[in-house]
């Protein structure tokens, strides 16, 4: 028994649509799982401030391992202000070493 070409094309389109639908469901489920894991990680990092710094360093190491890449690191404004204040608090002409203050 032979099916007409139009019926074969129709069946192929239906099968393709079904595959695309299943793929979208799988992708959506993966995104949901990833968002839950990221939320858990954010909560964990908020409990352990050093964890965020360690994660940043891991990212820097991973990026640095790739050749021909440029890494741009943001500096918190608070850190720059702290360094600026520390610089302003230093004496203008510190005494030479070995002499009294």
Residues 6+ apart with CB under 8 A from 69: 63
User: In terms of pTM, does the model score above 0.75?
Assistant: no
Read off the pLDDT of residues 16-40 as tens digits, 9 standing for 90 and up: 999 999 999 999 999 999 999 999 9
Residues in the chain: 101
Is 32 contained in some domain?
Answer: yes
Q: Is residue 31 part of a domain?
A: yes
77, burial (CB in 10 Å: exposed 0-12, middle 13-18, buried 19+): exposed
Query: Domain range for residue 52?
Result: 5-89
Q: How many domains does the chain have?
A: 1
Output the six-digit token pair for 69: 């890449």
**pLDDT tens digit sequence for 60-69:** 888 888 877 7
């Amino acid at each position: 028994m032979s099916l007409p070409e139009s019926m074969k094309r129709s069946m192929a389109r239906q099968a393709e649509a079904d595959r695309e639908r299943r793929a979208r469901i799988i992708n959506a489920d993966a995104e949901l799982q990833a968002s839950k894991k990221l939320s858990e990680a954010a909560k964990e990092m908020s409990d352990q401030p050093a964890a965020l710094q360690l994660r940043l360093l891991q990212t820097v190491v991973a990026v640095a391992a790739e050749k021909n890449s440029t890494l741009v690191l943001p500096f918190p404004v608070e850190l720059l202000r702290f360094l600026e204040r520390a610089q302003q608090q230093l004496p203008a002409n510190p005494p030479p070493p070995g002499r009294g203050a």
